[in-house]
Amino acid sequence: MPRTNLNGFCQESILSTSLFIFGTLRHAPLLEAVAGVLPDLEPARRDGFRIAPSGEGDWPVLVQEPGAYAEGFVIRDIQPDMRDRIAHYESAYDMHLRACQVEVGGETLLAEVFVPGDPARVEPGQWSLAHWVARRARADIFAAQEIMRLWGRFDGADLRFRVPQIEARAFARLRAESASPPHKVGMGPPDPQIEFLSRRDEHAGYFFTRTFQLRHRTFAGGMSEEVRREVFLAPDAAILLPYDPVRDRVLLVEQFRMGPYARGENLPWMLEPVAGRVDPGETPETCARREALEEAGLELRDLLHIASCYPSPGCMTEYFHCYLGICDLPDEITGTFGMKEEAEDIRTHVLSYDAAMELLSSGEAQNAPLILALIWLSGKRSQLRGAA
């Protein structure tokens, strides 16, 4: 959630022709992605202010402090189109233009700056641009590119509604780029190439549907015919099957699911492992532990990796990180859980190992990660029980 924000100490915007930036937009690749082109920048400072870390994450917050000064840049004589582009990006984080004064080469200049709609929480010390660049700049640039593709389509609350999933997908893209799965059998065609032709976001809601047109290298050599395909865009997810090796039990969650409902199932409530989207900046392992607490009230003793996989690679970007979680599952552990703000209504079930495996033969286990996790557990059960 890159921000160049202020703590509300400016007058209302007067549509100055200059813009003061002091936070993440000082990073040239991010600024270029937002502004369209890299503008001319002049070093500037705002006296009497400190750039502090936000208590809400790794974001800069400008707070009043006598004797301090905040360094940044001024875009002088900013063009209306560029100003509107940056305003669109900042509106994704509830940022609004206000007027302020900055020092530029000994000259006092009236400029505009983006400030948060709500007062920001701050922490002691100085916010570090270098630290933000190392931690999340690349992901925030990917997110900015998606946000800018929505310019003219959504703004305000409608745009902010889409930002969490946009950011989560950006971090998923980084994980995909940095992953090195072993390719020993499937090596692709000789000299694998993809010729990108066009991309369009047909639907941009909580999830996105993106249409690609491309050609790719074939196994026989040469390039394929032009291919047009729609892809459902979703972030990575962590999937967790809780298991108590002493009591030989597993825990499953039951909840209403849109997929079975849209397909036409008469009872679209599904038995599943614990699962959730991997948040921006979060590891899949941390997500699995967080979701165990949120969806089932469980503290995990250990986390064992089962597999990482695409559930439907022909049409979805979604990627599953599947785990077995070692924990205690006493009789009284079941209940109802879920995050109200995420419209979750979850009931937990504790089943013996034999009862859980019966779900496979009865057909009640219709959730692919559940089937995968139970089959994996069947091969590791003796070892896990022996070590308990």
Q: Which of 107, 134, 162 is the last residue of a domain?
A: 162
pTM of the entire structure? 0.88
**Rounded Cα distance, 345 and 336, in Å:** 7
Residue 171 belongs to a domain: no
**At 179, which amino acid appears?**
A
- Residue 209 is predicted with a pLDDT of 95
Helix, strand, coil % (nearest 5) of the chain?
30, 35, 35
Binding residue numbers: 275, 291, 295, 344
Q: For residue 302, give the CATH number of its domain.
A: 3.90.79.10
- Kindly give the confidence (pLDDT) of every residue in the chain, 388 residues in length, as a single tens digit, with 9 standing for 90 and above: 444 443 444 444 445 589 999 999 999 999 999 999 999 999 999 999 989 888 666 788 888 889 999 999 999 999 999 999 999 999 999 888 989 899 999 899 999 998 887 766 778 888 999 999 999 999 999 999 999 999 999 998 999 999 999 999 999 999 999 887 778 888 899 888 999 999 999 899 989 999 999 999 999 989 999 999 999 999 999 999 999 999 999 999 999 999 999 999 999 999 999 999 999 989 999 999 999 999 999 999 999 999 999 999 999 999 999 999 999 999 888 888 877 766 678 999 999 999 999 999 999 999 999 999 999 999 999 999 999 8
Helix (H) or strand (E) holding 307: strand 302-309
Residue-number span of the structural domain to which 157 is assigned: 5-162
* Closest by CA position to 136, among listed 51, 35, 29, 39: 29
SS3 assignment, position 189: coil
Structural domain count of the chain: 2
- Residue 184 is predicted with a pLDDT of 84
Beta bridge partners of 227: 214
Helix-helix angle 80-91:28-35, to 10 degrees: 110
**At 70, which amino acid appears?**
A
For residue 62, how many other CB atoms are within 10 A of its CB? 29
Rg of the chain (C-alpha set): 25
342 in catalytic set: yes
Give the Cα-Cα-Cα angle 32, 17, 104 (nearest 5 degrees): 80
Beta bridge partners of 229: 212
**Rounded Cα distance, 55 and 57, in Å:** 6
Q: Which of 107, 135, 162 is the last residue of a domain?
A: 162
- Residue 283 is predicted with a pLDDT of 95
Distance between alpha carbon 251 and the CA centroid of its chain, in Å? 27
Residue 212 belongs to a domain: no
Binding residue numbers for Mg(2+): 275, 291, 295, 344
The answer to whether residues 140 and 47 belong to one domain is: yes
Residue 175 belongs to a domain: no
Annotated catalytic residue within 12, 342, 358, 364? 342
The answer to whether residues 32 and 143 belong to one domain is: yes
Residue 46 belongs to a domain: yes
Q: Are 244 and 218 in contact (CB under 8 A)?
A: no
* Closest by CA position to 338, among listed 275, 279, 281: 275
Residue 324 belongs to a domain: yes
CA distances from 45 to 20, 62, 102, 108 (A): 9, 12, 6, 10
Q: Which of 122, 140, 162 is the last residue of a domain?
A: 162
Residue 204 belongs to a domain: no
